[in-house]
Amino acid sequence: MSDTTGAKTYDVAVLGCGPMGAALARNFAAKGRKTAAWNRSPAKAEALAPHGVSPIQDIDEAVRSSKLVVACISTYDAAREVLAGVTDWSGTTLVNVGTGTPAQAAEWQAWAGERGVPYLDGAILCYPPQIGTEEGLVLYSGSSQAWVEHEQTLMATGANSALVSGDAKAASVLDAGIMGAFYVPALSAYVEAATYALDQGVVPDTFNALSEMLFQTFAVMAKESVAAIASDQHETDIAHLSAYAEGCRAGLDVMQATGFKARLLKATVENLNEAEKAGFGELGFFALTKVARTGG
């Protein structure tokens, strides 16, 4: 493909103007990038005009006139449908931050490669109001050359944003692992715990104070867990997995006796029971990794 970057009108075009897409477009414009926006419903893109964003109704024009295209369309399939008819990708880099799987990220990389389009896959791990702030976090993976060319623009999404790998699947893997498997379940478990404690008469300040102390301990334990899993070393002289299992079983009985479903705690007990049955009870808690895989 010929490089026509010099003829581009916009530094970046955002496709999809839902809450996150609109936040991205406003932020790029606020950070001094010449920004365009496209949406299936033109009114949503037009609503961004007062924020310095140029609405474009034609998808071909949006791609053709922009150095960088950030697709923020609900799913990868929906984004593929939107971009299917675009023929002129000369001098344009594509970033996809919609919701998809690692396999779909690899498919998108191949799709872009067939068209000679530099590609980065993205995973947004923050809320729209955090875009462009110290809490902003968007992970990117894929073409290192594309990252070098557009790093300043893409880093404008947040102080914690970063290229995590040259493998396009990596951002999606981290999204599934950190957000799907950890953050949301952990927050759900915390809701269960807080609901139970407050219903039993614990005052919020007391629960918050204890939580703060445990969060600090958790930060240390999280690093230890990754080291143990990576090395497959789970011996301990501190607290065996069976001790955790016994305590969790007792806690589950108490919560259920007072009318609580305790679904997250129940799932934890099931994992611990399985690990004990498999003979890992005398190892450390992180030996749960041995029953985490299907057929493990």
Give the integer Cα–Cα distance in Å for 192 and 214.
16
**143-199 confidence digits (pLDDT tens):** 999 999 999 999 999 999 999 999 999 999 999 999 999 999 999 999 999 999 999
Contact 92, 66 (CB under 8 A): yes
What is the residue whose two structure tokens read 């230890």?
Answer: 224
The β-bridge partners of 142 are 120
Contact 29, 52 (CB under 8 A): yes
Give the integer Cα–Cα distance in Å for 244 and 121.
39
CA dihedral sign, ordered 185, 187, 190, 196: negative
* Residue 255 neighbours by CB distance under 10 Å: 19
* Domains in the chain: boundaries: 5-172, 203-291
DSSP 162: E
What's the pLDDT at 4?
A: 41
DSSP 192: H
Q: What is the pTM of this model?
A: 0.87
What's the pLDDT at 1?
A: 35
The side-by-side arrangement of strands in the sheet containing 53-55 is 53-55, 35-38, 10-15, 66-71, 93-96, 119-124, 138-142, 162-165
DSSP-assigned states of every residue in 251-287: HHHHHHHTT---HHHHHHHHHHHHHHHTT-TTS-GGG
| Alpha helices by DSSP H, 84-235 | 102-114, 144-155, 170-174, 184-199, 204-231
Q: Is the pLDDT of residue 11 over 60?
A: yes
**What are the angstrom distances between the C-alpha of 52 and each of 29, 33, 220?**
6, 9, 44
Output the average pLDDT for the chain: 95
212-216 average pLDDT score: 97
What's the pLDDT at 3?
A: 40
* CATH 1.10.1040.10 holds for 203-291: yes
pLDDT band for position 6 (cuts 50, 70, 90) = low
**109-151 confidence digits (pLDDT tens):** 999 999 999 999 999 999 999 999 999 999 999 999 999 999 9
**What are the angstrom distances between the C-alpha of 41 and each of 38, 44, 212?**
8, 6, 45
Give the integer Cα–Cα distance in Å for 208 and 86.
52
The class of domain 5-172 in CATH terms is: alpha beta
Give the integer Cα–Cα distance in Å for 12 and 36.
6
277-295 average pLDDT score: 95
What's the pLDDT at 2?
A: 34
SS3 state of residue 290: helix
**12-34 confidence digits (pLDDT tens):** 999 999 999 999 999 999 999 99
Burial (CB < 10 A; 0-12, 13-18, 19+), residue 212, is exposed
Q: Is the pLDDT of residue 99 over 90?
A: no
Phi, psi of 14 (to 5 degrees): -100, 125
